[in-house]
Amino acid sequence: MDSERPLLIPLDAPGHWDEQIVGGKAAKLAQLACGGFDVPRGFCLTTWAYQTFVKDAGITAAIRMELGRKSMDDMRWEEIWDAALRIRATFLAQPLTRLLRETVAAGLRGFDTSTPLAVRSSAIGEDSAGRSFAGLHESFIGVRGRQAVEDAVRLVWASLWSDAALLYRKELGLDPAHSRMAVLVQEMIYADRSGVAFARDPRDIGKEHAVIESVPGPCSLLVDGVVDPDHWELDRKTHGIIAWLPGQRNDAEDDAPLLESRELEHILETLLSVEQLFGWSPDMEWTGRSDALTVLQARPITAAALDEDEKRTWCLTLRPGDARLKQLRKRVAEQLIPELEAAGQALAAEELNLLDDQQLADTIVQRSAAIANWKKIYWEDFIPFAHGVRRLAMYYNDAVQAEDPYEFVGLLRNQPLVAKQRNNAIGQLAQQLAANDVLRSAVERLLAQCAGSLHWPTFRDSLMRIADGAENFLRGFDVLNERFLDIVYDQERLHDQPEPMLRNLIELSRAPYASLGDESVAGVSVAALEKRLLDAVGPERRDEALDVIETGRVSWKLRDDDNLLVARLESQLLRALDVAAKRLRAVGRLSGEVHPNDAHVEPLVRALREPTTCPVTLELVAKVRPKDLSKASPGETPRQLIGQPASPGVATGAVRCIHGRGDLGKFRQGEVLVCDAIQPTMTHLVPLAGAIVERRGGMLIHGAIIARELGIPCVNGVRNAAEILKNGTLVTVDGHLGIVTVGAAEFDLELGVECI
Amino acid sequence: MKNPDEPLFDEGDIKDGSGATAHRAVRERIQQLADKQPYAVLCVQGEGQPYGALVAFAFSEDLRHAVFVTPVATRKYRLLSECDHVALVIDNRPNKPDELMEIEAVTVTGRSQMIERGGEFDQWAELLVTRHPYLKSFVKAATCALFRVDVVRFLHVARFQEVNQWIPSAHS
C-alpha cells in the first residue's frame, strides 16, 4: 500500500485526523478514540480508496455524462432522483478491484465474520461548524460478512451523488472530478439506551443549558424519527435537571424516565469533555449508559439551519423511512383514499337545484374547503407516500443488481388503476364503433356537422334515429361520462364536453386495440420479476421483500388515482358554481359570459348570500400556461432535442401539442403526442400515439410508465418541448437514446424502423 | 490513376528517411496520440458536400482498425451509408496560439464499414466500451450503429509542418 496515499486507516491510529483523507465523521471519531473516549472499534476506507475505485471503474465519466445531460437547474426533483438512481446502479455494477477487496479484507481481519458492522459515510465538510449536511449520504447498519461490507461500501460511495446531495450540489461543491468520500466501518454496539446530546440547547445557544434525549434501543430509532425520545434540559454548571419531557411511546413499559440522574450526569460530563477536546460545543450521538457509554458521533452544533429554498427543504422530506412508509400505506390505502372516493361520490349525488340560494352558497363554501383540505393531504401524505415506488426501486436494484435500473417497473404492471378502468371502458366503446361501420359513420358525420359546438341532446336524438346499435353505445358513453369523466381538466369539467371524447373514440376505433399490461408487449412477466427479487434476497428476507413490493404497488396506484379523485372533487365544485352562475344570470344579477371556475367562489357566494348585491361580473382568469423560455435567434431552428430515454423504440410522426382540453379531440392516430406532462386524465390518448415527448422528466411519471407498457417510444424531460415543437412538424423520437430529431428525416431509418 | 486511398509512398519514402527506426518512432507517436486523445473529428462526404463530426474512438492494438458509434438518426450516419471513404483527425491542440509548435495531429484515412449485430459486433463493441465505459448503453442501443474504419494510412503532423506518413499494412 502506498504510505503517502493509504487506502485504509484504523480508527485508533494516532494522528490520522486529516478530514481530506478520512472525511469529517471519521476525523472526529479518530480524535475521540485517541483522546481516550470509548468509540466503536473499526477502520476507515480513505478518500484515496474512493478515488482508486472511481478511476479504475471509469465512473467519473459516467457521472459527468449523467449530470451533463441537462442543466441541473432545469431538472425537476424526480429527474434528479433518476440521475442519482442511475449513478447508484453504475457504482453497484462495478466490483471492487483486487487491491480494494484485499484492503477491505485486511480491515475486517480484527472482526469475527458474524460480527454486525455499521458502514457509514464520512464525507469531507459534511459537518462543518457553519452547517450540517447530515442525512444527505447513506449509512448501513447490521452488515455481516465481507461481501455485504463490500456492497455497502459501494452504496455509501454512491451516496456521495444521492438525490439529496445533488440538491445541495452547490453548497457541497460537488464536482465529479474532485469530490470524494471516505467510509467508516465500525463494530455495532447494542445497548438498551441510546440518544443524542447537545452541549448547548440548539434552540437557544446562549443559555447555559445542555440537552439530552434518549430512546430505548439503538440510536437510529431516534435519528430516523421512529421513536419519540425522553427529553432533558440540564444546567451546564450545576448539572442539575431543569426539565424532563417524557417521550410519547405507545409501548412504554412505565412512565419512569429512561435515564437515571447519575446516568444523565455521566453523559453530560462526557459531553463537556468532548467540548473541551474540540473547542466547540458538540452535538453527540451516544449509546449505552454509565461506564458502558460509547460515543457514536460528534459534530459542532449548528443553529437550526433554515434553508431559504423551501421547495428544496420540502423535497428532502420526500424520503420517508420504511416505518413511516408503512404507516403511510395503512393511512392512505385504508383511510384516505376511501374517504376521498366517498367524498366525490357523495357530492356528485347531491341534487343542487333543490337547494335555496343560502344552501347553495353553503355547499360551495364546503366544497371549496374540502378541496383545500384534500390538497393539503395531497402534499402531506400522498406525495411522500409516492416514495414507496422509489423505495422498491432501490431495494430491487440493491438485491438483483439488474443491468437496467428500471427493470423493477415491471413489478408495477397490472395494477387496478382508476385510469386503467377508465381506459378499458373507452376501449370497449371504441370496439363497438369498430365493429359497426354504420354507427361509426353516423358518429363521424354528426361530429363533422357540429364542428366544435356539439349539442348533446340533439346529437343523441340524431344518432338514435340514424344508426342501429346507437342506444347501446350511448348507454355505455353515459356510464363512462358519469363514472370517469366527471373530473376537471384544464380548469373545465370534461363531463360537460363530450365532443373531444367522441372524436378520440373514432380514432381509437381505427387503431389496433391495445390493452395496458399486455405481457406480450411488456417483456418479462411480473411473476418472473418477483421470483428474481425473492431469489436474490433469500428466504430470510422474503417477507420483507414482499412487503416492499406491496408498498411500491400501493404507492404507484395511489400516484395515479389520487389525481383523478381530487379532479373529481374539483368537478363537484365547478358543478355547484355553474348552478350558481346560471341562477344569478337568470335573474340578471350576473353579467358577462365568463365560465366560472374556482377563482370565482368568493363573488358568487357573496351574491347568493346577499340578494341586494349589485350585478356581479366575473373576472376572466387566464389559464396558466408554461412560459415559453426558448430564446431563438432569427434563422435558428432546433435540429435535435435531448431528454431522457423513458421508453425504448423509435418512430417518426407529426407533432400534436396538447396544451389544454381543446386539443384532446384533435389528436389523430400515429401523431407524436407532445405535452408538458401526460396527466392521468389524458392517458387514453397514449395508445393512439406514435411516440410521446414530454417537458416533465422522470422514469416513473405517468407517461413514461404507460408508454413502456404499450411499447411506445417516449422521450421526456425535453426542455420547453411543447413550446419548441409546433403542430404538424415531422419529428423522429428515439426512445433508446432520449433524442428528438426535428424536421424531415434525411437519413435512412434502418433497423426495422417504421416511418409513419 | 491510383486510388487516392492507396499508398502514395513506399517505406523508403518516409520523410525522416532513416528506415525502420524512423517508422517505428512515427508509429509510436501515432500510438501515443491515439492513446491519449479520446475523441476525433470524423470526416465524411456525400453529394459533393464534406461533413465533420466529433466521435469517441478506439483503435485496435495493431492500429489497423478504429471503431466509433453513431445514432442512426444523424447526418453522419446517412453520409456513411452513401460513401465509405472517411478520415479521422486526432490532435492534442491546446487553446493557446503560442503553443503551435507543441501540437501533434494525425489524419487517418480509410474505409468505413458498419458492423452488423451478431458475428464480430461484440468484439468491436468491447474495444470501444473498454476505452469509453460510459458509452456502454449507447453502443447497445438499437438505434445506434457501430462502424469500423479499416485504416489505409496515417499522416502525422508535428512542429507545424513536419509531416510523416505511416501505412500499417506495409509494416506488419
Question: What is the DSSP secondary-structure string of A573-594?
Answer: HHHHHHHHHHHHHHTT-EES-P
Which range (A368-377, A587-596, B101-110, B132-141) has the least confidence? A587-596
CB contact under 8 A, A751 and B141: no
Mean pLDDT of chain A, nearest integer = 86
Question: What values do phi and psi take at A120, rounded to 5?
Answer: -120, 145
Predicted pLDDT at A324: 82
Q: How many residues does chain A have?
A: 756
Contact list, A746 vs chain B (CB under 8 Å):
75, 78
CA distance A691 to chain B (A): 15
- CB-CB under 8 Å, A650 with B141: no
User: What pLDDT shows up at residue A420?
Assistant: 81
Phi-psi domain of A393 (left: phi exceeds 0; alpha: psi -120 through 50; beta: other) = alpha
- What is the spatial distance between Cα A443 and Cα A466, in angstroms, rounded to a whole number? 10
| Site of grid cell 486510388 | B3
Band of pLDDT at residue A346, cut at 50, 70 and 90: very high
Residue A136, C-alpha cell as written in the block: 444527505
Chain A residues lying within 8 Å of B130, measured CB to CB: none
> Average pLDDT of A381-401?
90
> What is the pLDDT at residue B16?
42
For A652, which residue in chain B has the nearest alpha carbon? B73
d(Cα A144, Cα A152) in Å, to the nearest integer?
10
Across A97-117, average pLDDT:
93
Do B152 and A743 contact (CB within 8 A), yes or no? Answer: no
> H helices within A378-497, ranges in order?
383-385, 387-400, 418-434, 437-450, 456-466, 470-484
Amino acid (one-letter) located at A111: F
CA A57 to chain centre: 30
Distance, CA of A595 to CA of A622 (rounded, Å): 12
ipTM: 0.70
For testing the chain B interface, which of A736, A740, A750, A755 should be mutated: the one with the most B CBs within 10 Å? Answer: A736
Q: Which residue has the higher pLDDT, A152 or B94?
A: A152
Cβ proximity of A413 and A709 under 8 Å: yes
User: What domains, with CATH codes, occur in chain A?
Assistant: 8-187 (3.30.1490.20), 193-300 (3.30.470.20), 323-414+523-614 (no CATH), 418-516 (no CATH), 640-755 (3.50.30.10)
> Given a cut of 80, is residue A145 above it in pLDDT?
yes
pLDDT above 60 for A726: yes
CA distance, residue A59 to nearest chain B CA (Å): 8
| pLDDT at res. A206 | 84
Other CB atoms within 10 A of residue B159 CB: 11
Q: A650 contacts in B (CB within 8 Å)? A: 73, 142-143
Mean pLDDT for the stretch of residues A360-369: 95
CA-nearest of B107, B124, B115 to B147 is B115
Please say whether the beta carbons of A43 and A104 come within 8 A.
no
Q: Is A638 in contact with A733 (CB distance < 8 Å)? A: no
| Alpha-carbon span A605 to B76, nearest angstrom | 65
Phi, psi of A140 (to 5 degrees): -125, 140
Of A324, A313, A269, A312, the residue nearest A291 (C-alpha): A269
Which residues in chain B touch residue A648, judged by CB atoms under 8 angstroms apart? Answer: 142
Cell of A90: 453504475
At position B72, the amino acid (one-letter code) is: V
> Got the DSSP string for A10-49?
ETT-TT---HHHHHHHHHHHHHHHHTT-----EEEE-HHH
Under CATH, to which class is B11-168 assigned? mainly beta
Give residues with Cβ within 8 angstroms of A620, minimum separation 6.
Answer: A594
Displacement of CA A609 from its chain's centroid (Å): 43
Question: What is the amino acid identity at position A427?
Answer: G
On chain A, the residues whose CB falls within 8 A of the CB of B74 are: 741, 747
Give the list of residues 6+ apart from residue A319 with CB closer than 8 angstroms, or none: A163, A164, A387, A390
For A270-312, write each residue's pLDDT tens digit.
Answer: 999 999 999 999 999 999 987 789 999 999 887 655 555 666 6
Nearest-Cα distance to chain A for B104, in Å, is 25
Closest to A655 in 3D by CA, of A583, A542, A732: A732
Residue (of A199, A237, A192) closest to A214 by Cα position? A192
Segment A491-501 shows an average pLDDT of 87
pTM of the predicted model, to two decimals? Answer: 0.79
Q: Is beta strand A691-694 parallel, antiparallel or unpaired with respect to A714-716?
A: parallel
Could you say which of A64, A732, A746 has the minimum Cβ distance to residue B78? Answer: A746
Give DSSP secondary structure letters for A66-90: HHHSS-GGG--HHHHHHHHHHHHHH
Cβ-defined contact of A648 to B73 (cutoff 8 Å): no
Collapsed DSSP state (helix, strand, coil) of residue A641: strand
Q: What pLDDT is recorded for position A748?
A: 41
pLDDT in tens, chain B (172 residues): 445 554 444 433 444 444 444 445 788 999 999 999 999 999 999 878 889 999 999 999 999 999 999 999 888 998 999 899 999 999 999 877 777 888 999 999 999 999 999 999 999 999 999 999 889 889 999 999 999 999 999 999 988 878 888 998 775 5
User: Which of A477, A473, A382 has its CA nearest to residue A680?
Assistant: A382
Arithmetic mean of pLDDT, A605-610: 89
Looking from the CA of A702 toward its CB, the CA atoms found within 13 Å total: 25
The pLDDT of residue A478 is above 90: yes
In chain B, the residue whose alpha carbon lies closest to the alpha carbon of A741 is B73
pLDDT given for residue A217 in this prediction: 86
pLDDT above 60: residue A628: no
